[in-house]
């Protein structure tokens, strides 16, 4: 009879490694239903291709770790003695010589502890399948993350709640925006509204950028710039609820919008609509980027393109599938991603319009519903 670790065992077998290692993060939280944080104290679960898993756990986390109902051996360690002996004992217990890891999450000092543990642990138990106790590590980030590609019903419900909270906060914030407010002051209102409406946390640090700052896709709010009539105001942010992230961008205009800026906004809005229209089961990530980016490239503003069309969204703010040319990954029901075309002119302004899209059996649903047209504040 299988258990919750079986998908990871299958990944290990398919990759011809002895085991898969998981560290705190999105994959760990989805598997165990409890969030642990990456810090200076390593916590690692190793799932062998056959048999029960084992874990290295800081002693001070044992109480919390007991709450996940872990099915294998736990090797704990204390600050006073250090963690290496726990890694040594882990390898003596498991006797594995190759491990698949989450390449975007595994930190160097944890990798080194694994390697030292393999060298120390082999003489006690196991077979030296990689020679001399030297551990072979394989990056299986994509294969492990793929287990989260198709959101289940609970995750989609959490996404809806996170997005509703985020859109409500956005509506309440822009209702307060006036010329003369600094970007930082607007950001402060946004943050207050986000948590007042029930967010558990930020999905990522919010972006509030006006005028020339809006031409920087990942700008930081300034405390020395007050928005003025005619400015573009780009707001990109999201709340987190139930472990799932929202991510929305809208670009507003303060007081009035020039004809030139309106033309740029209308182009981006058309590109957003084209990307959404192309979103359906069986389409590829390439197809969606192609549909959206082609609109931008056909416009008079093609030299303002700076980035791909979107990224997967879920427990991580950026995850598979990445909506970009050259990615032929097929989209299936349950996948969630952003469509966020943008145009940016350094020294002038930028426009981005971002929605969160769920692939359904018959097409798609835009989980974000905030008005996309030109809005004057």
pLDDT of residue 33: 92
pLDDT of residue 2: 65
284 forms beta bridges with: 330
- Tokens found for residue 70: 């872990």
pLDDT of residue 122: 57
User: What's the predicted TM-score (pTM) here?
Assistant: 0.91
pLDDT along the chain (377 residues), means of 10: 88 98 96 94 97 97 96 96 96 95 96 94 47 82 95 97 98 98 98 98 97 97 98 98 97 98 98 98 98 98 97 96 97 98 97 98 98 98
Find out whether 118 and 98 touch, Cβ atoms under 8 Å.
Answer: no
- Burial profile 34-56: b = 16 or more Cβ within 10 angstroms, e = fewer: eebeeeebbbbbbbbbeeebbbb
pLDDT of residue 296: 98
pLDDT of residue 199: 98
Q: Which CATH code for domain 149-366?
A: 3.90.230.10
CA distance 94 to 229: 66
pLDDT of residue 128: 44
Task: Map tokens 């009035």 to a residue.
Answer: 256
pLDDT of residue 124: 41
337 forms beta bridges with: 312, 357
- Tokens found for residue 147: 């287990």
Q: Which CATH code for domain 6-147?
A: 3.40.350.10
Composition of the chain by helix, strand, coil, percent to 5 = 35, 20, 40
CA distance 211 to 299: 22
For residue 321, say if its preceding peptide bond is cis, omega within 30 degrees of 0: yes
Domain boundaries, the chain: 6-147, 149-366
CA distance 92 to 86: 10
């Amino acid at each position: 009879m299988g258990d919750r670790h079986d998908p990871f065992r299958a990944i290990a077998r398919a990759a011809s490694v002895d085991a898969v290692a998981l560290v705190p993060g999105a994959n760990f939280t989805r598997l165990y239903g409890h969030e642990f944080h990456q810090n200076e104290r390593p916590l690692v679960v190793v799932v062998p291709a056959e048999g029960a898993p084992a874990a290295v756990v800081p002693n001070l986390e044992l109480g919390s770790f007991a709450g996940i109902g872990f099915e294998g051996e736990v090797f704990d360690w204390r600050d006073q003695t250090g963690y290496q002996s726990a890694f040594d004992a882990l390898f003596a217990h498991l006797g594995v010589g190759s491990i698949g890891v989450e390449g975007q999450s595994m930190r160097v000092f944890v990798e080194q502890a694994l390697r030292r543990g393999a060298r120390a642990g082999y003489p006690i138990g196991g077979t030296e399948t990689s020679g001399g106790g030297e551990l072979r590590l394989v990056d299986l980030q994509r294969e492990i993350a793929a287990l989260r590609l198709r959101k289940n019903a609970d995750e989609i419900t959490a996404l809806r709640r996170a997005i509703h909270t985020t859109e409500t906060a956005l509506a309440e914030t822009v209702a307060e925006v006036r010329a003369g407010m600094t970007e930082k002051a607007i950001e402060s209102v946004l943050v207050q509204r986000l948590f007042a409406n029930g967010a558990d946390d930020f999905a990522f640090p919010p972006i509030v950028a006006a005028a020339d700052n809006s031409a920087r896709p990942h700008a930081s709010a300034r405390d020395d710039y007050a928005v003025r009539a005619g400015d573009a105001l780009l707001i990109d942010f999201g709340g987190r609820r139930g472990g799932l992230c929202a991510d929305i961008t809208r670009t507003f205009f303060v007081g009035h919008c020039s004809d030139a800026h309106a033309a740029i906004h209308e182009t981006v809005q058309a590109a957003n609509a084209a990307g959404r229209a192309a979103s359906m089961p069986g389409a590829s990530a390439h197809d969606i980027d192609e549909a959206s980016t082609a609109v931008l490239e056909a416009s008079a503003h093609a030299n303002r393109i700076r980035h791909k069309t979107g990224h997967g969204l879920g427990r991580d703010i950026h995850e598979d599938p990445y909506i970009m040319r050259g990615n032929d990954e097929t989209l299936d029901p349950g996948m969630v991603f952003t469509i966020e075309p943008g145009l940016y002119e350094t020294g002038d302004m930028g426009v981005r319009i971002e929605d969160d899209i769920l692939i359904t059996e018959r097409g798609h649903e835009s989980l974000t519903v905030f008005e996309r047209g030109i809005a004057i504040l």
